[in-house]
Structure 1
Amino acid sequence: MRKAYRVKREAEFQKVFHNGKSTANRQFIVYVLTKEKQEHFRVGISVGKKIGNAVVRNSVKRKIRQSLTELKNELKSDKDFIVIARVPAAKMTTKEVKKSLSHVLKLAKMLN
């Protein structure tokens, strides 16, 4: 995921948290904020210490990023969103992460 596709700053994260709508399933929580006149979506990924040590957290982030890259063409472009991983995400395969993530993104009306 290129830098232009990422929500990086703390202020941007907080804006999405406070003003966005949240949707969740057992593995992920997604906060979505609509931003008019934006060329493409932007995503922030948060994996807390409850998930596991650094190796496990980075593995979960890689799986989420891979899934989002595969779903890139289906995602709506005028949105900023944050993906928060829950504890069960640590034991999932890449295929299961993609399935669960696409499920929660459909619930959040992020997919075309």
Structure 2
Amino acid sequence: MQRLKNSIDFKRVYNNQKSFANRHLVLYILKTDNESRIGFSVSKKVGNAVTRNKIKRRLREISRLNAYQIKEGYDIICIVRVKAKDIDYQTLNNSFLHLIKKLGLLKVNENG
């Protein structure tokens, strides 16, 4: 899965205004004709630079490991809420996958 990096792409996804949230994360999505891309936003309210970068590294790894399960053709922005700063990796992973399922972006298993 590619990364969303420039502000024009972020604004385009935000302007679409299709989002879902849970206690730890907010996901914005936009349907595209290209390969799926994901971007991360962590506010200074979440913590210092070390904390914010740790959360971003975890989310990048979570999205990399679960990329095969996510449908193609979407731009996704993942915004981290303040409550996410004290959670462990597994809880963050569950929050991310919960929102992916809620948005209907999870690929259906062909075997059952």
Do the two structures share a fold, i.e. TM-score over 0.5?
yes
Superposed counterparts of 1:72-87, under 5 Å? 72-87=67-82
> Which secondary structure does the structure 2 equivalent of 1:26 belong to?
coil
Number of residue pairs aligned between Structure 1 and Structure 2: 107
| Bigger Rg, which one | 2
- Please name the residue that 1:106 is paired with: 101
- Residue 61 of structure 1, CA deviation: 0.4
The CA distance in 2 between the partners of 1:55 and 1:7, in whole Å, is: 21
- Residue 20 of structure 1, CA deviation: 4.2
Read off the aligned partner of 1:94 and give its amino acid letter.
Answer: Y
The CA distance in 1 between the partners of 2:23 and 2:102, in whole Å, is: 13
TM-score w.r.t. the length of structure 2 is 0.91
Root-mean-square deviation (CA), in Å? 1.0
| 5+ long unaligned stretches in structure 1 | none
TM-score w.r.t. the length of structure 1 is 0.91
Identity, % of aligned positions:
36
* TM superposition outliers: structure 1 runs of 4+ over 4 Å: none
